[in-house]
Amino acid sequence: MQSRGEWSSRVGFIIAAAGSAVGLGNIWGFPVQTAQNGGGAFVVVYLIFTLVICLPVILMEIAIGRRTQRNPVGAFKALAPASAWPLVGGLGVFAGVMILSFYIVLAGYVLGFFLECATGGLERLSTDGEFAVFAGSVGKTFAYMAGIMLATIGIVVGGVKGGIERATRILMPVLLVMMFAMIAYMLTLPNAGKGLAFYFVPDFSKLSMGVLNSALSQAFFSLSLGMGALITYGSYVSRKDNIASSGFIVALFDSFIAITAGLLIIPSIFTMDPNVTAENMPAGPGLIFVFLPKMFMSLTPSIGYFAASFLASFFFLLVCFAAITSTISLLEVPTSWAVDERGIRRGRAALAMGGLIFFLGIFSLLSQGASDFFTRFITYPSGQTVDFLTLVADIFFESALPLGGCLISAFCAFRWKRENLSAEIAQGYPKYMGSWQEKALNAILYVLPFILFFIFINTVLEKYFAVEIF
Ligand code: TRP
């Protein structure tokens, strides 16, 4: 039996979990969703969901993982043998594979933007319509995606401590500093105030069930929640550690980065295009690939093209690293499943899973304009036609994660039972017993599965059938 490994310390776990959480979901997803869903009101709902719904699920996942020291499937097998619960873990492992298959496409774009800005391409990338050309050039994007997958496999093979922790520890702080510098610059540009108002002043008339659905899915995705990534990472946590405070810090940090990224990107849309208003916000997955190059290009008159290109490529490089600390956690889930449940060696498991995911990713890659078949892949009963990447994201990001959260909380409430959950959280944090945190978690525990089930059903009705209950 090979040793499963353990984080070097409590901080080691926090860093790795924060690295998993902070990624394209924060820097790309959050601003895109905020723009699409009306600005400030979305931000408020997002933060409330993170605190009230997601934080409890974070603690549940870590507790299940640490209790059982297993991957998601093995964890449910250990706690509920001879039941259907391991299927919840199976759904998670499968969702991890599918999410990673489209995530590497986007992460590949970021790598591509880094390389192309570093080699003089900034001016071209900042012209209108260029992003579509870029996404359609399959030869290049294929190579970028392969680069991301290889880097991810390499780190996962390196194991828990050596690979994952070390990479994250250095890169995250640099990214943060760079974002703040860019925000400071952007705020000096004309129209930034309009962007800030759109971002920070909530217009609650924009709230709809659709906005609530998106905010919840986005919060789950951003926190790497609902498919067992934290069960897996939790399985490497020491019994001496306080998981309640670790989970809280991770949630706080992830939200902070998302808010910061939004603060950079949302107002920059207003500064780069004077005609933008709250009503005609450009939206869609291309957002950061369209507006960030424009913003860097706007530095040229003051600092010169060379320096502007340098900053742009450096920024995309950091985002690329943030993405890789997330792809690691996505590959770690199916890998740990293959190691624990199938007895495959770690290196081989990572390679096989990585290869499979890469293969699936090719369809998402082709669906961004290169192949007509995959670009107009399917029409929902609602009449909306989507590409293959969007289909996979709709199923495994928008729908499966809230469902996973629903099932995980149902498991804790009705099968594992709150005494066991409390006892596990109290390991390494004896004061938890009888504290207001325990009371709060126990109170929400029994409502959470129903809230999440309700939102899941709503998401399905709205996404695929265009039925709005409210
Ligand atoms: N949270 C990451 C991001 O924001 C993506 C991610 C990594 C993820 N691991 C996950 C999403 C597990 C869902 C489940 O980019």
**Ligand 1 atom closest to residue 225's alpha carbon, by position in its atom list:** 14
- List, for residues 290-323, the tens digit of each pLDDT value: 889 999 999 999 999 999 999 999 899 989 989 9
Those residues with Cβ within 8 angstroms of residue 342's Cβ, 6 or more apart along the chain or in another chain: 349
Looking at the CA of residue 329, tell me the nearest atom of ligand 1.
9
- pLDDT above 60 for 421: yes
The upper half-sphere exposure of residue 269, i.e. CA atoms within 13 Å in the direction of its Cβ, equals 29
- C-alpha distance from residue 211 to each of 127, 351, 371, 463, 469 (Å): 31, 39, 31, 12, 13
pLDDT in tens, 168-200: 777 788 888 989 999 999 999 989 999 999 999
pLDDT at 240 over 70: yes
Contacts of 23 (CB under 8 A, 6+ apart): 103, 322, 323, 325, 326, 327
% of the chain exceeding 70 in pLDDT: 97
Q: For a substitution probing ligand 1, which of 99, 175, 401 has the most ligand atoms within 8 Å of its CB?
A: 99
Nearest CA to ligand 1 atom 14: 224
Q: How far apart are CA 407 and CA 452, in angstroms?
A: 9
Predicted pLDDT of residue 160: 59
**Residue-wise burial string across 187-217, b where 16 or more C-beta atoms lie within 10 A, e elsewhere:** bebebbebbbebbbebeeeebebbbbbbbbb
Which carries the bigger pLDDT value, residue 431 or residue 173? Answer: 431
- pLDDT for residue 261 is more than 60: yes
Strands 385-386 and 378-379: antiparallel
Tell whether the model's pLDDT for residue 283 goes beyond 80.
Answer: no
* pLDDT on residue 3: 61
The type of residue at 7 is: W
List the beta bridge partners of residue 65.
none
Classify residue 80 by its DSSP letter. S
Ligand 1 mean position to 301 CA, how many Å?
38
Q: What is the mean pLDDT of residues 130-148?
A: 96
pLDDT at residue 158, rounded to an integer: 79
pLDDT of residue 161: 64
* pLDDT for the residue 298: 93
User: Per-residue confidence at 428, pLDDT binned at 50, 70, 90?
Assistant: very high
For the chain, give the mean pLDDT.
Answer: 93
Q: Taking the mean position of all CA atoms in its chain, how far away is CA 357?
A: 17
Does 1 have pLDDT greater than 50? no
Which of 59, 109, 143 is CA-nearest to residue 323?
A: 109
Closest residue by CA, ligand 1 atom 10 = 224
Arithmetic mean of pLDDT, 101-122 = 97
For tokens 């820097």, the residue is 27
* Cα(13)–Cα(160) distance, integer angstroms: 10
pLDDT reading at 115 higher than 60: yes
Closest Cα to residue 224, out of 40, 67, 37, 17?
A: 17
What is residue 162's predicted lDDT score, i.e. its pLDDT? 65
pLDDT of residue 202: 93
Q: Nearest C-alpha to atom 8 of ligand 1 is from which residue?
A: 224
252 vs 175, residue with greater confidence: 252
Q: Is 192 helix (H, G, I), strand (E, B) or coil?
A: helix
Q: Tell me the C-alpha to C-alpha distance, in Å, between residue 368 and each of 33, 132, 136, 146, 387.
A: 19, 8, 6, 17, 7
Least Cα distance to 326 among 18, 12, 65 occurs for: 18
Q: Which residues have any ligand 1 atom within 6 Å of their CB?
A: 20-21, 23-26, 99, 221-222, 224, 227, 229, 326, 329-330
Mean pLDDT in residue range 194-208: 92
User: Which of 20, 100, 335 is the pocket-test mutation for ligand 1 (most atoms within 8 Å of CB)?
Assistant: 20
Q: What is the pLDDT of residues 354-395, one digit of tens each?
A: 999 999 999 999 999 999 999 999 999 999 999 999 999 999
pLDDT of residue 98: 98
